[in-house]
Structures are given as C-alpha cells and as structure tokens.
Structure 1
Amino acid sequence: MSDAPDKKKRSARRQRSIYQVHYSIKRKEEMTARPLAKRPGSPEVTAYHQQVAGHTSSEDTKYLGLLQCSNGTILKPIIKEAQRREVALYARLASATEPDLLELRALVPRYGGTTRYGF
C-alpha cells in the first residue's frame, strides 16, 4: 500500500505531426480513397464481398481491398514491392514451358494480366 494519492487517468492523446504543432494547424478528416474512374467500355468494378484472410478495406486506410469486375474477374491492388514480385511470378507461370512451372501453374489462380486504374 502506498500513501501517494491516486493519479487521474487521462485519455490517450491523438498524435500530431510537428508541422501541426508548430503552425497550429488543425487536423483535417478527409477522404483519401476516391472511387475508381470508369473507363469507357470497361466492366463495372465493385468491392469483392467474399473476402477471406486479410486484404480487406477499412476506413482508416487508403487500401480498397479486393475488387470484382462485372465479368467475374477478381482484381487485387498492387501496392507494395512484394506484390510486384508476385505479379512477376504469375507472369512467368503464364508463359512457362518448363515441366515444374507447368505443374505449379495448375495449382495457382489463372493470371489475367494487369490493368492500371487512375484517379
């Protein structure tokens, strides 16, 4: 037991950047992810609702999660360097002629290439 008085519990402070502190700039809550621009003649793109094991979108990130075209194709955003290597692997498997890679290709999803969407 201590004879020191109990301290009042304070709520956690929101972290601010030094720029906000120095210039007294208030934090803006703004939407960072914008809807995808639809190309003429391209299929409709919506959020993929049968999502499993991560890759989901959330309100506090810019990540959109997996998407699905109206033609049934699943789109996975490529953001990190590791995902670029994953694309390189799928591209290599798609054009492979070696028996080992042909065997592996039978076990992975069909690769349909990459599509660039801009905002």
Structure 2
Amino acid sequence: MTKIEPIDGETPLDFVQRADSLKIPEGMINRILTDHFGYADDGEIKELKLQSKPFWDQFYREHVEGIFQRGGTRYAALRFIQRKNDHADEHRRLSEVEIERIVDSAGEWPR
C-alpha cells in the first residue's frame, strides 16, 4: 500500500488531488484530512473531494468503460459525459478534447 503524507504548504484540495491520482484508499485520505487539516465533518470532506479533478476523471472513465463493456455506443458514452459536464462547476468542467480522450481510452468502439 502506498503511504502518503501532506507536503508543506499543500492545500487540502491539492492533497486530495494528489492522493486521488495515486489511488490512495478513501479511509486514509479522510484520516489525513481530519488529523492534519482539521476537517471534522463528513460533509466538508465530501465537498472537498468532489472538487478533485482526478476523482472525476476516474468517475468518467469507469462509466465509459462500463458502457463499452456492455456493448454501448461511443455516442452514448460521449453524451453521458457531456450531460454531466453541463452541470459541473468550474473545478471539474472538461473540455471537448478531454471528453473525447476519456471516451477513446475505453478501446475501439464499434461502428
């Protein structure tokens, strides 16, 4: 298991994004947010985590891969992310290029 510690001057959001990109278990992230950054409320921690770009990248990739594995279409995968993206705040809004890359990362879509 990878061990992670906050870096001097690192903000809670920077820490969460770094931890998410390293795929650190949620419990470990929560413990560090509580012990080091003083977060006491689960709602605060969840709100912070929802601002993490690596979290959303993984969320979209998992859903797109699920669509791909079920024999869905590339269009369905694109629309799924675009609909979610339309309601995203500025922290997690993706460009069309980012959306295309995520969808194409699932594999060769049937024509």
User: Would you call these one fold, judging by a TM-score over 0.5?
Assistant: no
From the two aligned structures, give the one with the greater helix fraction. Answer: 2
> Is the strand fraction higher in 1 or 2?
1
What TM-score comes out, normalization by structure 1 length? 0.24
TM-score (norm. length: structure 2): 0.25
Which has the higher Rg, Structure 1 or Structure 2? 1
